[in-house]
């Protein structure tokens, strides 16, 4: 018999995407049971973002039925045999990727298994996760902020520091000022860069200025505002022509980093990169080390979070939350089971 430390959980609700394009359906089923090396986590907050809409549209393939949710924080309820790093009662951030222990990079490789895509995610009352994917929370971070730091902030942090290697004094362009791009703006500023934010709405441009952008401009204004180009261009939104705009905004020896997921082919001429010696890079999520780094930034008071926490809803409203995120003007919706 498997020995489980901690109080057993009762029935558990989960939001299920049953097929491509369908709204999530709330179902009730027995709470999952942790096996060896696993922990049962009671969810306290889960951010809903563009990747969940990408999943709903079939962008990750035919993974249905699946419980979405990858930006999450919760409290450990029970642990399976062999678990030593976390205990029942611990507040944890959930790293959404589980990888082979010997993988060179925690977020890359053929052994990657993504919570909310390859296995059921955190838009539920409970989720079982391998112990190695849980990041103990430092004191002073509430569950909602903890969940949002895990993706909305750690993703652009990884793109700016690990992938683009932004240095103080460089010019950084952030295309798209949503749940990821808004935080790319404030992180690039913290790294000492001159930041240009490119957005379509007055609301997003005003937000970028509040978060530290040097200038906030529309796509039509961008090339005139940067005649010599930028050192780093981050694409944080998926829209027609934005990838091509990023290439046009890149200066000599620039790094162009694609953060937003898109299935559209990228129309780029080789000479556009060759003549300026630009590099085109992809940035996939983040690592546990990135999560720990943004925790430190938050605890130092360096990060603004109020633009991310204005729309908090119960799990029962998850279908409406998907609809409103797709059609509304919010940067993030947080589900609190």
Condensed to tens digits (0 to 9), the pLDDT of residues 157-168 reads 999 999 999 999
Check whether 186 has a pLDDT greater than 80.
yes
Question: According to the model, what pLDDT value does residue 268 have?
Answer: 83
Kindly state the average pLDDT of the residues 63-69: 97
Question: According to the model, what pLDDT value does residue 292 have?
Answer: 95
Question: According to the model, what pLDDT value does residue 5 have?
Answer: 75
Check whether 32 has a pLDDT greater than 80.
yes
The CATH fold of domain 5-151+286-336: Quinone Oxidoreductase; Chain A, domain 1 (3.90.180)
Kindly state the average pLDDT of the residues 260-287: 90
Check whether 1 has a pLDDT greater than 50.
no
**Domains of the chain by residue range:** 5-151+286-336, 165-282
Question: According to the model, what pLDDT value does residue 262 have?
Answer: 81
Mean pLDDT of the chain: 94
- At 8, the pLDDT band (50, 70, 90 cuts) reads low
Question: According to the model, what pLDDT value does residue 266 have?
Answer: 83
Question: According to the model, what pLDDT value does residue 149 have?
Answer: 97
Question: According to the model, what pLDDT value does residue 261 have?
Answer: 81
- At 331, the pLDDT band (50, 70, 90 cuts) reads confident
- At 10, the pLDDT band (50, 70, 90 cuts) reads confident
Question: According to the model, what pLDDT value does residue 3 have?
Answer: 60
Window from 122-126, 172-176, 282-286, 328-332 with minimum mean pLDDT = 328-332
For the chain, the three-class secondary structure string (H helix, E strand, C coil) is CCCCEECCCCEEEEEEECCCCCCCEEEEEECCCCCCCEEEEEEEEEEECHHHHHHHCCCCCCCCCECCCCEEEEEEEEECCCCCCCCCCCEEEECCEECCCCCCCCCCCCCCEEECCCECCCCECEEEEEHHHEEECCCCCCHHHHHHHHHHHHHHHHHHHHHCCCCCCCEEEEECCCCCHHHHHHHHHHCCCEEEEECCCHHHHHHHHHCCCCEEECHHHHHHHCCCCEEEEEECCCCCCHHHHHHHHEEEEEEEEECCCCCCCCCCCHHHHHCCCCEEEECCCCCHHHHHHHHHHHHCCCCCCCCCCCCEEEHHHHHHHHHHHHHCCCCCEEEEC
Q: Which CATH number is 165-282's, of 3.40.50.720, 3.30.565.40, 3.40.50.1370, 3.40.50.2300? A: 3.40.50.720
Question: According to the model, what pLDDT value does residue 328 have?
Answer: 77
């Amino acid at each position: 018999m498997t020995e489980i430390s901690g109080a057993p959980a009762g029935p558990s609700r989960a939001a299920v995407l049953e097929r491509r394009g369908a709204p999530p359906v709330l179902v009730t089923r027995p709470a999952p049971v942790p096996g060896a090396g696993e922990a049962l986590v009671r969810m306290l907050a889960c951010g809903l973002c563009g990747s969940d809409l990408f999943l709903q549209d079939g962008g990750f393939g035919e993974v249905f039925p699946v419980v979405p949710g990858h930006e999450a924080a919760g409290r450990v309820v029970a642990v399976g045999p062999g678990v030593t790093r976390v205990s029942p009662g611990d507040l944890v951030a959930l790293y959404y990727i589980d990888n082979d222990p010997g993988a060179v990079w925690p977020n890359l490789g053929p052994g990657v298994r993504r919570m909310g895509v390859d296995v059921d995610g955190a838009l539920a009352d409970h989720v079982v996760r391998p112990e190695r994917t849980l990041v103990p929370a430092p004191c002073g971070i509430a569950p909602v902020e903890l969940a949002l730091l895990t993706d909305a902030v750690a993703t652009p942090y990884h793109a700016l520091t690990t992938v683009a290697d932004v240095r103080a004094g460089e010019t950084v362009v952030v295309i798209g000022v949503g749940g990821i791009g808004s935080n790319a703006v404030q992180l690039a500023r913290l790294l000492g860069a001159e930041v240009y934010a490119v957005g379509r709405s007055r609301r997003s441009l005003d937000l970028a200025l509040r978060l530290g952008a040097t200038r906030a401009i529309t796509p039509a204004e961008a090339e005139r505002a940067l005649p010599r180009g930028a050192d780093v261009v981050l694409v944080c939104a998926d829209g027609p022509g934005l990838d091509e705009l990023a290439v046009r905004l890149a200066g000599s020896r620039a790094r162009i980093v694609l953060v937003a997921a898109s299935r559209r082919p990228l129309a780029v001429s080789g000479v556009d990169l060759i003549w300026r010696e630009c590099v085109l890079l992809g940035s996939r999520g983040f690592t546990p080390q990135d999560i720990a780094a943004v925790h430190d930034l938050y605890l130092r008071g360096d990060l603004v979070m109020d633009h991310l926490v204005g729309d908090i809803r119960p799990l029962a409203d998850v279908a409406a939350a998907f609809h409103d995120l797709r059609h509304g003007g919010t940067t993030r919706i947080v589900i609190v089971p």
